[in-house]
Amino acid sequence: MSLLDIRRAGDPVLKEVSQPVQKIDKQLKKLLDDMADTMYKNDGVGLAAPQVGKLIRAVVIDCQDEVGLIELINPKITYREGKAVDTEGCLSVPDIFGEVERAAKVKVEFLNRRGKLQHLTAKGLLARCIQHECDHLEGQLFIDIAQSIHRGQDK
């Protein structure tokens, strides 16, 4: 496993739309392992492949809840319910935080690393994180949609 360089806001790769994963091979599994390492090392709760310069639809998330580490390959949000506003940050936008409105509850389908179709229903932080990471796959950062932005954790 190895740590990957995280692309920062301003890097054009973060504005691109990522391509679906065509084949779940050794290379992809290594990328997922390295992404998880990189996320943990930087105290993040999620990381999307474009943040490490790979324009493919792969995401890792660990909100330190009962779900733990999840790897989402070709994720698709199939259902959204309610609205919630809360503070977000992003490893690609260090030291900046913002208030972002998201669906309060989502259902997402994705492939796991064995190529099996998975369905997950999430609310709270996990739902927020799934939406934030899926936005990265569309080339969108939270600062593009935040209601307000501030430096540091405190408002």
Helices and strands, counts by H and E, the chain: 3, 8
# residues contacting Co ion (CB under 5 A): 1
CA distance 89 to 25: 31
Q: Which helix (H) or strand (E) holds 33?
A: helix 26-41
Q: Which positions from 27 through 86 interact with Co ion, judged by CB under 5 A?
A: none
25's CB contacts (< 8 A; 6+ apart) are: none
Q: Looking at 16, 66, 133, 138, which residue is catalytic? A: 133
Q: In the bound complex, what is the minimum distance in angstroms from residue 15's beta carbon to Co ion?
A: 13
Closer to Co ion by CB, 90 or 146: give it: 90
| Minimum distance of Co ion from residue 115's CB (angstroms) | 26
Q: How many other C-beta atoms are found inside a 10 Å radius of the C-beta of residue 130?
A: 26
Distance CA(34)–CA(2), nearest Å, equals 5
Q: Is 90 in the site for Co ion (CB under 5 A)?
A: yes
Give the nearest distance from C-beta 67 to Co ion in angstroms: 18
88 is catalytic: no
In the complex, which residues of this chain contact Co ion (CB under 5 A)?
90
Query: What positions carry a catalytic annotation?
Result: 133
